[in-house]
Structure 1
Amino acid sequence: MDALADLLDGARARGAFLLRAVLDPPWSLRVQDRSPLTVVAQWRGEAWISFDDGGPTRLGPGDVAVVRGPEPYTVADHPSTPPRVVIHPGQRTTTPGGVDLCDDMDLGVRTWGDAADGETVMLVGVYQLAGEVNRRLLDALPRLLVLAADSWDSPVLPLLASEIPRDRPGQDAVLDRLLDLLLIDVLRTWFARGHGEDGPEGGDGDGEPPWLRAHTDPVVGRALRLLHNNPDHPWTVAVLAAHTGVSRAALARRFTDLVGEPPMTYLTGLRLDLAASLLRDERDVTLQAVARRVGYGSAFALSAAFKRVRGVSPAEHRASLSGVA
């Protein structure tokens, strides 16, 4: 698996929140749902996205924005419009004063807003649980990135638009996969173009992650491919160096300079992300089996590393994805 494919494989929606937002100006939404990642596709009209400490970014028809949480932000018809709706965790909506709006703004199947045929239509997909998007993918993204309509062409967006308001058996699974496909299509295009400068397509981030740029280096790129293709191998810096044809010191220095962290630190993060994905996707697999598949000698060793790096145990991580306290 190449490095970019491995990165993009980190997006796996599970019961993601999707809707069509239909609104008439003036409107303004204060989003403080603390979701890890949100995709906003501007289907009709325009919108402005702004953070408390930054200027607004415009979305025109066909533009797609990816917003990395959990920082709050505002989406409005104009930057000067004050918030009229607040979106809380769990996608609960209220007025700024706390009056519930969920029923008042319900316009039908996965359709929400203040006008059935409003001037503005947005398609919104929310990854609500941190485990739906792995850490490396979140770390690779800026706080906000926007892909302009005239800079790409995707068949996924119109398909998602047609599927969101449908009510059919298995529809949630269909929408989850379409959201993943849309996100992957957007990010693949964005990474390929190396956006990172301030502006409408670069957001406020640093462009593609350092390890992705390092993938083109003849030495570090080979080391990365070895780690990604065989994360369960008992790698050491010395073994990696032997496979890449340089000294241990040279590999460690070059890897750290290009990737931003030492080889074994990178491998730990890669293994734990893989473990988190297995815990998410294979609900019946034992922790011992997960440990073996990602290169840990025991369930205890994996659990200790998982808790140290992620702050929760593997069992707590798995429970959080199923809504179990």
Structure 2
Amino acid sequence: MDVLSDAVAAMRVGRPHSSLTRRQAPWGVRFTGAGGAGFHAVLEGHAWLVMAEGHGDAEPVRLGPGDIAFVTQRGAYELVSEPGVAVREVTLRLDGSGLAPVPPVSPVPRVMDAGSPSAVMICGAYLLDENRPHPLLSDLPGLVHLAAADEEGAPLRAVLGLLVTELTDPQPGTDTIVTSLLDTLLLLILRTWWLGVRGSAGDHSGWAAALAHPAVAAALRAIHSDPAHPWTVGELGALGSLSRAPFARRFTESVGTPPLAYLTWWRMTTAAGRLREPDGAPLRTVAERAGYSSEFAFAKAFKREFGMAPGQYRKLRGAGLALSG
């Protein structure tokens, strides 16, 4: 199984939003944190991205043609024509349908500020469930800047080109195509970042090291492929030709938790996802897919993880109530 795809699928909620914008200087917008992440790609001209104090890079980042900035919205940030200009504040709607305050969103996002633009950009936003963040995504820096000269970003820019075509010349099926392209774009942004980290000099730590280490990566793929299997530390280590102790140490150092603790965490995460589905499977089926032979054992483990029984979790999620866990 693809661990990166699984991590995104476990956190993504709602539909992604995108817009093609043409800006005339001076202009500036301030984005507030909204439990998600966003990207900004400059097609023509330039823009500056200014992170809030204590969040990401302190210095403003200049974005030129072909540059992409991906921001995990753990704090506010500004996108401006030049540092110091007046800004208006916008917030991602909780349903992911767009930015507020803006006019009602049409099926295809509108093109704004037509004229002689100082910048032409394509921007997008994703809602993420931060109640239970996957550690792979939590390991991301506040700002990922992918420069136009980055050779690893060629597939990413090819998808951006398709997205621009759909937004500027909508055809039958554009609404679904745009959503699919935005999902693809998110994965490519994360993959391009990871490949860049892996290819850089120096000792790597965290999930960049986990995905690059053959034994740890093999164990993660096995856990994600078959979470119901009664994995042991020795069995997981053997997948990468490591003995029990060296494997457990390496896994814990990079992933941040011991192998079996991560297995339990992933089992509960996937089980919670199934419980959130509108026409969810029976609890017995959810328990079996999570690796538990009895509903009682599963319910006990689930309550220890989420603070409530699976049935109560399903009921509250169905009512649309926010949960921690």
Give the TM-score of the pair, scaled to structure 1: 0.76
**Aligned ranges 1:88-167 → 2 under 5 Å:** 88-90=91-93, 91-94=98-101, 102-103=102-103, 109-130=108-129, 135-151=134-150, 152-154=153-155, 155-167=158-170
How far 1:92 sits from its partner (Å)? 4.5
How far 1:145 sits from its partner (Å)? 0.3
Mark the CA change 1:320 to 1:179 in structure 2 (over 3 Å): closer, same or farther.
farther
- In 2, are the aligned partners of 1:109 and 1:167 still within 8 Å (CA)? yes
- In 1, are the aligned partners of 2:215 and 2:239 still within 8 Å (CA)? no
How far 1:221 sits from its partner (Å)? 4.1
Q: Which residue of 2 aligns with 1:87?
A: 90
- In 2, are the aligned partners of 1:160 and 1:175 still within 8 Å (CA)? yes
- In 2, are the aligned partners of 1:129 and 1:321 still within 8 Å (CA)? no
* SS of residue matched to 1:79: coil
Distance in 2 between residues matched to 1:275 and 1:166, nearest whole Å: 41
Q: Which residue of 2 aligns with 1:99?
A: none
Match of 1:62 among 63, 66, 81: 66
Match of 2:280 among 282, 285, 298: 285
- Number of positions where the alignment pairs a residue of Structure 1 with one of Structure 2: 302
User: Which whole-Å deviations, capped at 9, do the CAs of 1:116-160 have from their partners, x for residues lacking one?
Assistant: 5522121111113528x9624421321110111121323211110
* SS of residue matched to 2:306: helix
- In 2, are the aligned partners of 1:194 and 1:207 still within 8 Å (CA)? no
How far 1:316 sits from its partner (Å)? 4.0
Q: Which residue of 2 aligns with 1:259?
A: 255
Distance in 1 between residues matched to 2:197 and 2:116, nearest whole Å: 38
User: Which whole-Å deviations, capped at 9, do the CAs of 1:91-126 have from their partners, x for residues lacking one?
Assistant: 4545xxxxxxx24x9999512533455221211111
**Aligned ranges 1:65-80 → 2 under 5 Å:** 65-80=69-84
Distance in 1 between residues matched to 2:225 and 2:137, nearest whole Å: 21
2:190 aligned with 1:187, yes or no?
Answer: yes
- In 2, are the aligned partners of 1:140 and 1:209 still within 8 Å (CA)? no
**Aligned ranges 1:222-301 → 2 under 5 Å:** 222-237=218-233, 239-240=235-236, 248-278=244-274, 283-286=278-281, 288=283, 289-296=285-292, 297-298=294-295, 300-301=299-300
Question: How many percent identity over aligned positions?
Answer: 34
- In 2, are the aligned partners of 1:303 and 1:314 still within 8 Å (CA)? no
How far 1:2 sits from its partner (Å)? 4.5
Give the TM-score of the pair, scaled to structure 2: 0.76
Distance in 2 between residues matched to 1:290 and 1:106, nearest whole Å: 37
Distance in 2 between residues matched to 1:186 and 1:59, nearest whole Å: 16
Distance in 1 between residues matched to 2:272 and 2:48, nearest whole Å: 35
Where does the alignment leave 5 or more consecutive residues of structure 1 unmatched?
95-101, 198-205
Mark the CA change 1:215 to 1:242 in structure 2 (over 3 Å): closer, same or farther.
same
Distance in 2 between residues matched to 1:106 and 1:118, nearest whole Å: 22
